[in-house]
Chain A
Amino acid sequence: MRTRGMIKRVMTEMLRDKRTLALMFVAPLLILTLIYFLFQSSGSTTATLAVKNVDSTLQTALKNDNLKLKATTSDDSAKRIIRQHDYAGMLVQKGDKLTLTLANDDQTKATIIKSSLQAAQIKLKTKAAGAALQAQAKAIKQLSTALAAATKAAGITPATPQAGTAQAAGSTTYQTKTHYLYGDKDSTFFDTLLPILMSFIVFFFVFLISGIALLRERTTGTLYRLLATPVRRGEIITGYLTGYGLFAVIQTLLIVVFTMYAFKIQILGSIWLVILINLLLAMLALTMGLFISTFAGSEFQMVQFIPVVVIPQIFFSGIIPVVTMPGWLQAIAHIMPLYYGAGAMSQVVEKGAGLSAIWPDLLVMLAFAAVFLLLNVQTMKKYRQV
């Protein structure tokens, strides 16, 4: 009965606070929409490459939708020309030697140029294999040297050019058909980001709002007053947990429905698993928020914990693949609660993983929550010792 009273109070207070409600339910949708559009544009980047004295065969081979060529005759240095015209790079041919200079201020554009050069190489090779033209064969050689040099300069290991060898018969043109294991050709970085954001948003809002709510109880004295009744500390925490857990579930549903209808993003796994993950994550955020709030003296100080407690979690939530991190960073990732939550969420949303695949993550989250729960019950002893 006391727990029910606690839940009712937490929820009534929340419903009365219109601004917090808006923050919890409208802000995430705005953020998601913004990010969605930000990543939509990434497919249409075009890079401009200045070319000087480059063979026309090579030029034709280089052209594609994402690469524009600009012929130049200027005697200025490549650096100067790139700076002056804001080109992404410059390719100069001198006799049979090609030199590629990349601006490299935008890695997307640099990648476009490098992959276009690789593509051109393949095109020419297949042609060369067919027609056995001496000149083209020479161009290939020049091209691979230039490419190797450029990629080395950029500090990237060159991708082995998939040479269409001489066995490739005559005038065959290759048609690539790509199969996608997850997602489709319209998949953008947003699809990777979405599950991470879904879990992060729930984590962040529950952490902040519940932490501040308990802090307010502490500073206004209601927590002390509450503990002057025969309520159990566990009942207080359970009340908070259920009340905010419910809001987290509503928030999750809202985000899921919104992404499904507004962005037409399919959630491959079970929606129940999505809710379960976020519920666990809310529990974790809540117990963490309540615990951290013990160390804050005011709402402002609670906000000061965000850069320390919340922001680092983003880096380890899968936005940067954790497997590519050095060992000690990977170790840090494993103590970040969001690493498990966002990880499980990505598995379910993108790969349709079932409970059998994500239960270790869920278990770790549960363990985290249990630890913080115990710490909370302990810290409340400061106010009432039984």
Chain B
Amino acid sequence: MATTIQVTDLNQGYGKTTVLSDINLTVTAGEILALIGPSGAGKTTLVSTIMGMLRPKSGTVRVLDTAVPNRALLAKIGYMAQTDALYTTLTARENLHFFGTMMGVPRAQQDQQMAHAAAVVNLDHDLDKAVADYSGGMKRRLSLAIALLADPPLLILDEPTVGIDPELRQQIWQELHRLADAGKTILLTTHVMEDAEEADELMMIRGGVAIAQGTPAKLLAEYQVPTIEDVFLKAGRVQDAHTRND
């Protein structure tokens, strides 16, 4: 299958500090990859690098057969940021229209795609409310709807399930699986192990280093533990043992 994201020997950081070292990652079309890692591990940094918001310090990133960073490529990436970045004085509908226009969605298709995206996140009845009057979870959902809006081949979601109730979480996962089945690629970050279990591929990052990588089943077998959470803990201990030996 076609490779959507190809990260090779990536080192990344801000200024002189190094945040990510030696990251290698391949995601193929129709795959859901979850990045798991503790706070400050470098998940958002990796995601920003894949989007081309940050230029790699060393190594290469290719997305949809294009070297990153590339501005035009961003039209093919539906992005949901970790913090909600919405225009609070505008209504949800106006926000969707605005970001739709920025993504280059033709005016004629905007209404139809907007209806679909809003339905996935259960916001269809609140579209004409000002975002300032939204609850935290509603804002999160609107951010997700904006990411889905352009119906892009690649979705990059930074902690999409934070602040979302279990019922809606299921509904969102259903939609994500449906999209993956339709050949779209999804990259998401999470702290929640339930999300990790839904993904096709996992990448565990700790301190900027990939400590474990593979399908959930493969990881469970490799570390011989019953849950994904245990895989993460065990891989972490192995990493600590290595650094102590160095």
The answer to whether A and B interact is yes
Q: Is B134 part of the contact surface with A, judged by Cβ < 8 Å?
A: no
The interface residues of chain A lying within 8 Å CB-to-CB of B51 are: 228
Asked whether A2 and B55 contact (CB < 8 A) given A230-B75, A385-B69, the answer is no
The interface residues of chain B lying within 8 Å CB-to-CB of A222 are: 85-87
A42 to B38 alpha-carbon distance, docked (Å): 71
Listed A/B pairs (13) with beta-carbon separation below 8 Å: A1-B101, A1-B104, A220-B88, A222-B86, A227-B53, A228-B79, A229-B79, A229-B102, A230-B73, A383-B53, A385-B52, A385-B53, A386-B69
Closest 8 CB pairs of A and B: A5-B101, A225-B85, A221-B85, A229-B102, A386-B69, A230-B75, A16-B89, A230-B74
A230 to B74 alpha-carbon distance, docked (Å): 5
Asked whether A9 and B90 contact (CB < 8 A) given A230-B74, A386-B71, the answer is yes
Asked whether A9 and B69 contact (CB < 8 A) given A1-B101, A2-B101, the answer is no
The interface residues of chain A lying within 8 Å CB-to-CB of B107 are: 1
Interface residues of A in 219-245 (CB under 8 A from B): 220-222, 224-232
| A5 to chain B: closest residue by CB | B101
Min CB gap A173→B, angstroms:
71
Q: Is B94 part of the contact surface with A, judged by Cβ < 8 Å?
A: yes
Q: Is B70 part of the contact surface with A, judged by Cβ < 8 Å?
A: yes
The interface residues of chain B lying within 8 Å CB-to-CB of A63 are: none
Size bracket, chain A contacts: 20 to 34
Interface residues of B in 25-83 (CB under 8 A from A): 51-55, 69-75, 77, 79, 81, 83
Would A221 and B83 count as touching, CB distance under 8 A? yes
The interface residues of chain B lying within 8 Å CB-to-CB of A12 are: 89-90, 94
Interface residues of A in 1-41 (CB under 8 A from B): 1-2, 4-5, 8-9, 12-13, 16-17
Asked whether A386 and B70 contact (CB < 8 A) given A5-B101, A5-B102, A226-B102, the answer is yes
The interface residues of chain B lying within 8 Å CB-to-CB of A8 are: 98
Min CB gap B15→A, angstroms:
12
Would A386 and B102 count as touching, CB distance under 8 A? no
Q: Is B173 part of the contact surface with A, judged by Cβ < 8 Å?
A: no
Min CB gap A363→B, angstroms:
32
A383 to B48 alpha-carbon distance, docked (Å): 10
The interface residues of chain B lying within 8 Å CB-to-CB of A230 are: 71-75, 102-104
As a 0/1 sequence over residues 188 to 231 of chain A, the CB contacts with chain B under 8 angstroms (1 = contact) are 00000000000000000000000000000000111011111111
Min CB gap B140→A, angstroms:
13
As a 0/1 sequence over residues 61 to 101 of chain A, the CB contacts with chain B under 8 angstroms (1 = contact) are 00000000000000000000000000000000000000000
Which B residues are within 8 Å of any A CB, using their own CB?
Answer: 51-55, 69-75, 77, 79, 81, 83-90, 94, 97-99, 101-104, 107
Would B101 and A228 count as touching, CB distance under 8 A? no
Q: Is A138 part of the contact surface with B, judged by Cβ < 8 Å?
A: no
Min CB gap A236→B, angstroms:
9
The interface residues of chain A lying within 8 Å CB-to-CB of B103 are: 229-230
Asked whether A224 and B81 contact (CB < 8 A) given A229-B74, A230-B75, A383-B53, the answer is yes
The interface residues of chain B lying within 8 Å CB-to-CB of A229 are: 74-75, 79, 99, 102-104
Min CB gap B72→A, angstroms:
6
The interface residues of chain A lying within 8 Å CB-to-CB of B52 are: 384-386
| A12-B94, A17-B89, A386-B52 given; 17 more Cβ-contact pairs under 8 Å | A1-B104, A4-B101, A9-B98, A12-B89, A12-B90, A220-B85, A222-B85, A222-B87, A225-B85, A226-B85, A227-B53, A228-B81, A229-B79, A229-B104, A230-B75, A385-B54, A386-B69
Min CB gap A131→B, angstroms:
81
| B52 to chain A: closest residue by CB | A386
The interface residues of chain A lying within 8 Å CB-to-CB of B73 are: 230
The interface residues of chain B lying within 8 Å CB-to-CB of A221 are: 81, 83-85
A13 to B53 alpha-carbon distance, docked (Å): 26
| B82 to chain A: closest residue by CB | A221
Min CB gap B113→A, angstroms:
15
A9 to B102 alpha-carbon distance, docked (Å): 11
The interface residues of chain B lying within 8 Å CB-to-CB of A228 are: 51, 53, 74, 77, 79, 81
Min CB gap A20→B, angstroms:
10
| A9 to chain B: closest residue by CB | B98
A270 to B52 alpha-carbon distance, docked (Å): 50
A278 to B55 alpha-carbon distance, docked (Å): 40
Of B55, B71, B73, most buried by chain A (CB within 10 Å of CB) is B71
